[in-house]
Structure 1
Amino acid sequence: MFGAGGGTSSYREIEETDLIILWGSNARETHTIFFHHVLKGVRDGARLFVVDPRRTGSAEWADGWLGLNVGTDIPLANAVAREIIHAGLVNEAFVGRATTGFAELAAAVEPWTPEAAERETGVPAAAIRELAHAYARAERAQLCWTLGITEHHNATDNVRALINLALLTGHVGRYGSGLNPLRGQNNVQGGGDMGAIPDRLPGFQDILDPAVRARFGAAYGREIQPRHGMHLTQMLEAMDRRELTTAYCVGENPAQSEADSGRTVKRLGDLDHLVVQDIFLTRTARLADVVLPASAAWCESEGTVTNSERRVQRVRKALDPPGEARDDIAIISDLARRLGHDWGAPSAEEIWDEVRSLAPIFAGMSYRRLEELQGVQWPCFTEDRLEPPYLHGRLWAADPERRGAPAPFGIPRHRLPVDVLDEEFPLRLTTGRRLDSYNTGVQSGGLAFPARREEAIELSPEDAERLGLAPGDLARVSSRRASVTAPVAVDPALRPGLAFMTPHFPDRVDTNSLTIEATDPIAGTAEYKATAIRVERLSGDGPAGNER
């Protein structure tokens, strides 16, 4: 909708805004550094609203918590948009100058009165009106989201619905106002920046653009083909059809991180050849024909990382890699040489300078400048100036030529979760992260450190009482795909009908074996947040574990 894949604001702006919305984000536990900036903003007078099915630790700091039913983000956002329109709070000058499709959006959200949204989302109509008026009337406002919005089968529409709110109110393209997808791991933003996206070259340049392909082709001495590659979900589907029979996996653990993980393990096991390059012998690596031990640990490599505010920062080597582990650059360069392409032995800085020469948004970021300024936000086009810390200021320009292409409103369509609730599977399982652990557990437990605790199935007090379960009881958790056994925990932050687990301890409790591989047709993201389950008490005190 804006032509760039990055958060629009700097962290400092979070501290100096008037209103912050965390939508589908428990930043208190999952983006702790970012949440420090949120708390500074709250301390200085910013209002905080949290939209989340659970009353999370983040919600404890909020002026308002909107506890919606899982999978109803679009009705809620559409109701907020409708209220902004009907209350006369639209920034008409901005909408008329910088956007397209307002009439179509207004017609699409018209059925979503706050009362209609309350029936669908469970959020009181008064709370919907309060959020709409607070957001629209704020001088500066930040709207932030993460996996609670994107891990759905309609993820792209969820994001469009949130962007619509910023476009209606003009809360983008100005200091203190913005839209911020918070990145879940170190350098996720940097991966996209460097072209690890099937339709983009480094710097988010469209691979279908002839001028872009010509520039990269001249540098590489190769014609760049005008076609999109496959994202991970498409790769897995191609494995089913035997159209993809070889995979090279670098720094990723899909055998544990993908939805319906049992199916993913089978796909990987059926490949003719699997290569894994990683710092640990992950579950995926144990399936591989060849394992390339890498030194990608933060203190063993030179390079850069990019965080959620688009800040590129230097990484410096402090230790030599252990054993036979090698730097990723050395591994890939050696592989290229054996395939007939001698790249020499490029340093991380030489590779970065090549990126700068091909991607204009990084052109002004020399290593020297990154060192002197302790990181620089993109875009940075020249070495003699810095751009504003926020993106899309062009949308406010009076000159139409400077303003460029307008931002289109999206027309998101509400679709309920694919994994429906019924008498056999009456509970909704949503998954997420906890503060003291990390993703598939490789870096924060098991292989790296002794795990601090094992996984549990968290239930509301009402559901635990109804099922005859007490904290510490062992239960079988079943979906339409698999069953696992896990101890019970009771969490008053959960409403009746909602359960919570993490993927942090898959060797003990493989949470992702339960989740459904229903994916967004554009982004390919699976619906980790909306699994239908049942929970049954097991007799005795047997160990937690995975079943099939």
Structure 2
Amino acid sequence: MTNTINELQDMGPGDAIFAIGTNTTECHPIIGIRMLEAHRRGARLIVADPRETELAKHADVYMRHNPGSDVALLNAMMYVIVTEGLADEAFIRSRTENFEACRETVLKYAPEKVEGITGVPAEKVRQAARLFATAENAATYYTMGITQHTSGVDNVLSIANLALMTGNLGKPKAGVNPLRGQNNVQGACDMGALPNVYPAYQPVTDPKNREKFEKAWGRPLSDRMGMAISDVLRGIEEGKVRFLYVMGENPMRSDPDVNHVRHCLEHVDFLVVQDIFLTESAALADVVLPGATWAEKDGTFTNTERRVQRVRKAMEPQGNARPDWMILRDIMRAMDYPADYNSPKDIFNELRTLAPSYAGVTYERLEKLGGLHWPCPNEEHPGTPILHVGKFSRGLGKFSAIEWRPPAELPDEEYPLVLTTGRRTAHYHTGTMTRNCWGLDGVAPEEWVEINPADAASLGVAHGDYVRVTTRRGSVVVRAEVTARVPKGVTFITFHYTEAAGNLLTNSALDPVSKTPEYKVCAVRVEKVSA
């Protein structure tokens, strides 16, 4: 996030919230509640989502766009802003570059012209664009409804274009704000758990970075980028990857095309899984290492707003479980690497010497302040709650000229509906934790597929009937929830349930840059079956 969560508490008349591709009230309930409170205080709420989420019910403008049409929709909003003179010309002149290329592209996307792509009436697009552009401050929030597409990077760049065009970066109650899906995803990325960077996003291809980390770690390091998850699975099939270590991840439920994932995990030479439960992935492992839960270990988490916070152990690990850092340290020692770490604090202090954005963050300051936003370059620095104030890290903010591309798989005669996926309030990700909690599992004990009443009627399906949901990759049998929450032609399912795994169905087609799979759009067939 370029901005902070608490800024929502200051929003009111004159401000605007744009939530696109995010079911915030279910997936980030506290942030969702703050959005609704800001709306009650007078902030205008714009929502774009194929499903009628709780936020959509409260929106001043709700744009129910077709799955996979985000770039066309955002370009149409920018068309209105450009042609009606609503762009922040002073901000564009002083703080950005490449605007003309972006302008030339968005002028192809008149709202009336792209109605057939987006499914959104032109007048609604115009209303949304005017609300956003005329607000004193406008903040955009998004989640995986934006990123989990073959055009995910393009979607994010389009959101950045919209913020740049209206001067909504580098100031309070504004910004581009992706809401992270888990509690420490931001922290994991910060620590270098990505295939192309060292900690703090320092590229592995830069010789100076490599030299710095070689000196610190006392080992030669490669200058080549590593593999994305999709590359790893392909590498197993090709015999290039023979050992896989999975930690705190359940690819047998979280990755697309689960049948293919199973094939790969069953055929890799050696599979190690480190987790707190015996997940579907762990059940296939040669070795299972029991990790400690968040309540059983010390350390830090860095949340979605870049705020580093202390985590304190509330209880001792149960049974044979051990904290992740301790397991990894002992493996390194067994491999003859002198991992001289005796606590998470030792590791964090090493990080501070290697990651400039964390240099000023200490355990002592975190204890005193409750948290610090990176970048925090020294111990006198107060942290950086808002990014890009006065200047972008690259100097000028860069506009991108983004054309809309259709999803990788579209409906046809054999698979006439669209399937999109997501989460429900009671459950979390692959259900590893929440389905082991009787209270939460009792709230939502089984999977349902959402289907529009018109589609259900044409298929002879009533609410509660069992149906078979089939794609080119597999099928599941679930109950039908007949609801107008999804539009005609669209269905919705989650990936929480082992017995009806939504990711048996999803498409493994990738964004060419991020290598993120297209979970949010694939072609599907629904058929009524006997119970």
TM, length-normalised to structure 1: 0.93
Does structure 1 retain, via aligned residues, the 8 Å contact 2:418–2:524? yes
Does structure 1 retain, via aligned residues, the 8 Å contact 2:138–2:168? yes
> Aligned equivalents of 2:243 and 2:381: distance in 1?
45
Q: CA deviation at 1:305?
A: 0.6
Q: Mapping of 1:86-485 within 5 angstroms?
A: 86-295=83-292, 297-395=293-391, 405-446=395-436, 451-452=441-442, 453-485=445-477
2:31 alignment partner, one of 30, 34, 45: 34
Q: CA deviation at 1:34?
A: 1.4
Matched residue SS, 2:114: helix
Where does residue 85 of structure 1 map in the other structure? 82
Alpha-carbon distance change, 92 to 450 in structure 1, aligned in 2, over 3 angstroms: closer
Does structure 2 retain, via aligned residues, the 8 Å contact 1:394–1:404? no
Instruction: Give yes or no for the alignment of 1:21 onto 2:21.
Output: no
Does structure 1 retain, via aligned residues, the 8 Å contact 2:18–2:140? yes
2:483 aligned partner, one-letter code: D
> Aligned equivalents of 2:512 and 2:210: distance in 1?
26
Where does residue 481 of structure 2 map in the other structure? 489
> Aligned equivalents of 2:85 and 2:47: distance in 1?
24
Instruction: Give yes or no for the alignment of 1:514 onto 2:516.
Output: no
Alpha-carbon distance change, 188 to 265 in structure 1, aligned in 2, over 3 angstroms: same
Q: CA deviation at 1:19?
A: 0.5
Alpha-carbon distance change, 185 to 464 in structure 1, aligned in 2, over 3 angstroms: same
> Aligned equivalents of 2:421 and 2:345: distance in 1?
39
Matched residue SS, 2:35: helix
Mean Cα displacement is larger for which, 341-350 or 23-32?
A: 341-350
Where does residue 11 of structure 1 map in the other structure? 5
1:94 aligned partner, one-letter code: F
> Aligned equivalents of 2:345 and 2:384: distance in 1?
25
1:21 aligned partner, one-letter code: F
2:288 aligned partner, one-letter code: V
RMSD: 1.5
Alpha-carbon distance change, 500 to 404 in structure 1, aligned in 2, over 3 angstroms: closer
2:410 aligned partner, one-letter code: V
> Aligned equivalents of 1:16 and 1:189: distance in 2?
24
Where does residue 400 of structure 1 map in the other structure? none
1:496 aligned partner, one-letter code: K
> Aligned equivalents of 1:305 and 1:436: distance in 2?
23
Where does residue 544 of structure 1 map in the other structure? none
Where does residue 514 of structure 2 map in the other structure? 523
Does structure 2 retain, via aligned residues, the 8 Å contact 1:14–1:142? no
Q: CA deviation at 1:319?
A: 1.1
2:345 aligned partner, one-letter code: E
Matched residue SS, 1:485: strand
Q: CA deviation at 1:535?
A: 0.8
| 1:314-335: CA deviation from partner (whole Å, max 9, x where unpaired) | 1111111111111111111110
> Aligned equivalents of 2:251 and 2:427: distance in 1?
18
Gaps of 5+ in 1: 1-6, 397-402, 542-548
| 1:124-164: CA deviation from partner (whole Å, max 9, x where unpaired) | 11111111111111111101110100111111111111111
Q: CA deviation at 1:430?
A: 0.7
Matched residue SS, 1:436: coil
Q: CA deviation at 1:284?
A: 0.7
> Aligned equivalents of 1:407 and 1:481: distance in 2?
41
Mean Cα displacement is larger for which, 222-231 or 68-77?
A: 222-231
Q: How many residues align?
A: 526
Mean Cα displacement is larger for which, 25-34 or 342-351?
A: 342-351
| 1:242-292: CA deviation from partner (whole Å, max 9, x where unpaired) | 111111111111111110011011011110111111111111111111111
Does structure 1 retain, via aligned residues, the 8 Å contact 2:195–2:225? yes
1:426 aligned partner, one-letter code: P
Does structure 1 retain, via aligned residues, the 8 Å contact 2:372–2:383? no
Q: CA deviation at 1:192?
A: 0.6
Matched residue SS, 1:229: coil
Q: Mapping of 1:43-58 within 5 angstroms?
A: 43-58=40-55
> Aligned equivalents of 2:228 and 2:18: distance in 1?
30
Instruction: Give yes or no for the alignment of 1:501 onto 2:493.
Output: yes
> Aligned equivalents of 1:145 and 1:339: distance in 2?
42
Mean Cα displacement is larger for which, 380-389 or 47-56?
A: 380-389
> Aligned equivalents of 1:388 and 1:266: distance in 2?
45
Alpha-carbon distance change, 410 to 308 in structure 1, aligned in 2, over 3 angstroms: same
| 1:100-142: CA deviation from partner (whole Å, max 9, x where unpaired) | 2111111111111010122211111111111111111111110
Matched residue SS, 1:58: helix
Alpha-carbon distance change, 411 to 239 in structure 1, aligned in 2, over 3 angstroms: farther
Q: CA deviation at 1:388?
A: 4.1
> Aligned equivalents of 2:221 and 2:36: distance in 1?
47
> Aligned equivalents of 1:224 and 1:165: distance in 2?
40
Does structure 2 retain, via aligned residues, the 8 Å contact 1:442–1:448? no
Where does residue 75 of structure 1 map in the other structure? 72
> Aligned equivalents of 1:455 and 1:464: distance in 2?
17
Gaps of 5+ in 2: none
> Aligned equivalents of 1:32 and 1:519: distance in 2?
29
